């Protein structure tokens, strides 16, 4: 039972480079989410997806791109990384037809942009 | 910006003590959730509350959905070392498109 996995767990990149963070879940959950966690801000929603090929912006979407061609995968791309995008990124999923609150989180991807 | 406030921001307690923390907002929420995050891990759901006034327990943890629907409380009884971590509240509201808004967290340290 793999659950929800993120890769890479740690990534160091340079300003201006493209970075993709991967997220894979094995539960066939409908909903998937990307959050970033920064000191003093808690978790802030970047993008979410209600189903394959359906994505929508969250609170802080600028500078990020997502796609969801398959239910189980929800990659997050930083097209041109900036230092302000240094953060810990969490992917989460939730089952059912509507959001119930039981979000299952991955272990996080720690990204440093130099 | 941040819509939920949590207090205290951090706390140090002795093992065996009871702990209380709360989450407040200026907005009404339909659902309140409490999560715990261990170092280097993702948050894990502790308790979910769906109705104003609801009181729900999960082992030594008890949480309440405030009657005004603008706040929630989490209590931990007889704390143990593994209670160490960051506790997040999260609220769900029609105002935020059914997505969840997270508070900034309360960092709990338990001294032996």
Q: What is the DSSP string of A8-31?
A: -SEEEE-TT--EEEEEEESS--SE
Q: Can you say how many angstroms the Cα of residue A55 is from the centroid of all Cα atoms in its chain? A: 12
Report yes or no: A5 at the B interface, CB cutoff 8 Å: no
Distance from CA of B19 to the nearest CA of A (A): 21
Mean pLDDT value across residues B65-94: 93
**Preferred mutation among B25, B35, B43, B91 to probe A, highest tally of A CBs within 10 A:** B43
| 3-state SS string for A43-85 | EEEEEEEEECCEEEECCCCCCEEECCCCCCECCEEECCCCHHH
CB contact under 8 A, B42 and A44: no
Which band of pLDDT confidence, cut at 50, 70 and 90, is reported for residue B98?
low
Share of chain B above pLDDT 70, in %: 94
Token pair belonging to A47: 């993008």
Distance from CA of A17 to the nearest CA of B (A): 26
pLDDT of residue B101: 87
Mean pLDDT of each 10-residue bin along chain A, 114 residues long: 88 97 93 91 90 92 96 97 97 75 88 97
CB contact under 8 A, A43 and B43: yes
Q: Which of A108, A112, A24, A103 is nearest to A68 (CA)?
A: A24
pLDDT of residue B11: 96
Distance from CA of B46 to the nearest CA of A (A): 9
- DSSP-derived pairing of the beta strands A109-113 and A10-13: parallel
Three-state DSSP at A40 gives: coil
Reply yes or no on whether the pLDDT at B13 is more than 90: yes
Q: Which ranges of B41-107 would DSSP assign to H, the alpha helix?
A: none
pLDDT of residue B95: 63
Reply yes or no on whether the pLDDT at B1 is more than 80: no
Give A 24-63 residues with CB within 8 A of chain B: 33, 35, 40-45, 48, 56, 58
Q: Can you say how many angstroms the Cα of residue A78 is from the centroid of all Cα atoms in its chain? A: 11
- DSSP-derived pairing of the beta strands B10-14 and B106-111: parallel
Residue B13: how many CB atoms within 10 A of its CB? 15
pLDDT of residue B100: 84
Partners of A42 on chain B (C-beta within 8 Å) are 2, 4, 88, 102-105
CB contact under 8 A, B102 and A101: no
pLDDT of residue B22: 96
Residue A64: how many CB atoms within 10 A of its CB? 19
Size of interface A-B (CB pairs under 8 A): 53
pLDDT of residue A102: 77
Mean pLDDT value across residues B63-74: 95
> Which helix (H) or strand (E) segment is B34 a member of?
strand B31-37
pLDDT of residue A1: 58
What does the angle CA B4 – CA A55 – CA A78 come to, to the nearest 5 degrees?
80
CB contact under 8 A, A101 and B43: no
Partners of A108 on chain B (C-beta within 8 Å) are 40-42
């Amino acid at each position: 039972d793999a659950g929800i996995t993120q890769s890479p767990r740690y990534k160091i990149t340079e300003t201006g480079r493209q970075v993709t963070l991967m997220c894979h879940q094995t539960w066939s959950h409908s909903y998937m989410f990307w959050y970033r966690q920064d000191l003093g801000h808690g978790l802030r929603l970047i993008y979410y997806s209600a189903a394959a090929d359906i994505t929508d912006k969250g609170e802080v979407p600028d500078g990020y791109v997502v796609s969801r061609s398959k239910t189980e995968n929800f990659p997050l791309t930083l097209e041109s990384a900036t230092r302000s995008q240094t953060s810990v990124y969490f992917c989460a999923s939730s089952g059912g037809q509507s959001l119930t609150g039981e979000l299952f989180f991955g272990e996080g991807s720690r990204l440093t942009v130099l | 910006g941040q819509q939920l406030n949590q207090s205290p921001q951090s706390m140090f307690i002795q093992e065996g003590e009871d702990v209380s923390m709360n989450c407040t907002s200026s907005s009404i929420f339909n659902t309140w959730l409490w999560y715990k995050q261990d170092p280097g891990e993702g948050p894990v759901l502790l308790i979910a509350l769906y109705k104003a006034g609801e009181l729900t327990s999960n082992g030594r943890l008890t949480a309440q959905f405030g009657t005004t629907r603008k706040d929630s409380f989490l209590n931990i009884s007889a704390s143990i070392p593994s209670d160490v971590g960051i506790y997040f509240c999260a609220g769900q509201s029609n105002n935020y498109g059914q997505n969840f808004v997270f508070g900034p967290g309360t960092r709990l340290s338990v001294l032996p």
